[in-house]
Amino acid sequence: MRYGELLTAGVLALFSIYLMWKSTELPIGFIEGRGPGGGAWPFWLSAIMLLSCILVMVKWWRGTSPASQSDEPFLDGYGWRTLVLVGGGLLGFVALIDVLSMYGAIAVFLIYYLRFLGRHSWALTLVFAIVAPIALFFFFEGAMRITMPSGWSFTDPVFDILYDIIY
């Protein structure tokens, strides 16, 4: 467990640094009259993630976190099973983005995660699987003016209705 905590924090820290570097290809500051630059959110969220990873490493080095004092294995059988199920779901989500759109892939992932992994009711699952993608659509497309991948053309009628609401 001790080395798993350090390894995870290290990998996430490296990923944070990469995302911060990549985000600087776009403006990361405030653009007068327009708002935050295109790289602002990814840069600053990655910076917060990097700071969190550094704090985890400091706690590990000092031996103050429970994981840094543990001799337990990093992942037991249940942990590996969960990692495979959630990781596989995320890979499926990414694969579906080009087909169903970002929002359709989110809906499918929520159904998989809430109903099949979380064993929540169909009512709760469907409410989240419908409301969350629509809310995210209005946030990204309407408020932030960031266009997400729209998938194959059979998803266009849904987007046409939502775009009519925005514009």
Domain regions of the chain by residue span: 1-74, 75-167
The pLDDT of residue 114: 97
Residue holding tokens 């500051």?
A: 29
The pLDDT of residue 85: 97
The pLDDT of residue 70: 83
- Asked if residue 9 lies in contact with residue 60, where contact means CB atoms within 8 angstroms, the answer is yes
Give the C-alpha separation, 66 to 68, whole Å: 5
Give the C-alpha separation, 111 to 99, whole Å: 17
The pLDDT of residue 137: 93
Q: Would residue 33 be called left, alpha or beta, if left means φ above 0 and alpha means ψ between -120 and 50 degrees?
A: left
Cα-to-chain-centroid distance, residue 8? 17
pTM score, whole prediction:
0.69
Cα-to-chain-centroid distance, residue 167? 28
> Tens-of-pLDDT digits for all 167 residues of the chain?
778 889 999 999 999 999 999 999 999 888 888 888 888 999 999 999 999 999 999 999 998 888 888 888 878 899 899 999 999 999 999 999 999 999 999 999 999 999 999 999 999 999 999 999 999 999 998 888 888 888 887 878 888 888 888 88
